[in-house]
């Protein structure tokens, strides 16, 4: 099964992808993680992406498509999950072409639908481990010791783009550029809408049901 997960920022794409990878051993590409790794490694691509990410804007399509192309080999041979890519219709069209070149297809495009006020609460409370990247939440999944990762003891931080002023820009970018993907995948008969308002486990159960059909 090859799937992609899309939706507004804070919908739980990353959380659900990690659970799917754990459950099914699928390959996983998260463009957000790829950019954050490039930033941590201070590559020129990372520095370029950071300019947009810190402001809450989308990274330009050619940069995103380039980084996905580089990771494409990873997707061969087993099921995969694309998390946060595509985020625009031109990216979706490029993805079609890349998949075709590699003899691959997407089976389902899972849209995580989440109520607006819940998105704000999820995003502002998110905390990430500087060392291992594990994700916590001040309300929903607080670490045992405030500010410290339960898994590796690393310190937790708030992503620059999870600060309130930046979130507003991200949500606008989502409305303008990513929301049209719903229609794109509906026309392609790949769209599956999942209510993402529930707990991590509830949403995961719904996704699992879909994958089994």
Give yes or no: 87 in active site: yes
Q: Does 185 bind ligand AMP (CB under 6 A)?
A: no
Q: Does 184 bind ligand AMP (CB under 6 A)?
A: no
3-class SS of residue 40 = helix
**Catalytic: which of 50, 55, 121, 159?**
159
Length of the chain, please?
A: 213
Q: Does 162 bind ligand AMP (CB under 6 A)?
A: no
Stretch that binds ligand AMP, among 83-91, 115-123, 127-135, 136-144 (CB under 6 A): 83-91
Whether 151 and 161 have beta carbons less than 8 Å apart is answered as no
Give all strands of the β-sheet with 80-83 in edge-to-edge order: 27-30, 80-83, 2-6, 108-113, 191-195
Stretch that binds ligand AMP, among 82-90, 108-116, 179-187, 191-199 (CB under 6 A): 82-90
Stretch that binds ligand AMP, among 58-66, 114-122, 126-134, 201-209 (CB under 6 A): 58-66
For ligand AMP, the binding residue among 28, 46, 161, 204 (CB under 6 A) is: 161
Residue showing the smallest CB distance to ligand AMP in the complex:
32
Least distance from ligand AMP to the Cβ atom of residue 161, Å: 5
Give the nearer residue to ligand AMP in terms of CB position, either 65 or 213: 65
Only one residue has tokens 């010791």, namely: 145
Closest by CA position to 32, among listed 19, 157, 12: 12
Stretch that binds ligand AMP, among 55-63, 106-114, 128-136, 204-212 (CB under 6 A): 55-63
Report the distance separating Cα 127 and Cα 125, nearest Å.
7
Give yes or no: 127 in active site: no
Whether 191 and 109 have beta carbons less than 8 Å apart is answered as yes
Q: Provide CB contacts within 8 A for 11, sequence distance 6+.
A: 112, 113, 114, 119, 196
Report the distance separating Cα 159 and Cα 177, nearest Å.
22
Q: Does 65 bind ligand AMP (CB under 6 A)?
A: no
Pairing of the two strands 156-157 and 126-129:
antiparallel
Q: Does 171 bind ligand AMP (CB under 6 A)?
A: no
Write out the catalytic residue numbers: 13, 87, 126, 159, 170
- Residues in the site for ligand AMP, rule: CB under 6 A? 9, 31-32, 35, 52-53, 57-59, 64, 84-87, 91, 161, 170
């Amino acid at each position: 099964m090859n799937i992609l997960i899309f939706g507004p920022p804070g919908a739980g794409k990353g959380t659900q992808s990690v659970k799917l990878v754990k459950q099914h051993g699928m390959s996983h590409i998260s463009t957000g993680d790829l950019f954050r790794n490039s930033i941590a490694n201070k590559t020129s691509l990372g520095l370029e992406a950071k300019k947009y990410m810190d402001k809450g804007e989308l990274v330009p399509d050619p940069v995103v498509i380039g980084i996905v192309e580089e990771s494409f080999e990873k997707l061969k041979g087993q099921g995969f999950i694309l998390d946060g890519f595509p985020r625009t219709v031109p990216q979706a069209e490029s993805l079609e072409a890349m998949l075709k070149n590699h003899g691959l297809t997407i089976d389902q495009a899972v849209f995580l639908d989440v109520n607006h006020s819940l998105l704000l609460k999820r995003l502002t409370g998110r905390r990430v481990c500087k060392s291992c990247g594990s994700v916590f939440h001040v309300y929903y999944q607080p670490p045992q010791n405030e500010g410290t990762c339960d898994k590796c003891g690393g310190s937790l931080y708030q992503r620059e783009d999870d600060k309130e002023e930046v979130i507003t820009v991200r949500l606008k970018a989502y409305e303008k550029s990513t929301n049209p993907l719903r229609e794109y995948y509906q026309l392609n008969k790949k769209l599956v809408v999942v209510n993402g308002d529930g707990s991590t486990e509830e949403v995961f159960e719904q996704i699992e049901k879909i994958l089994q059909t």
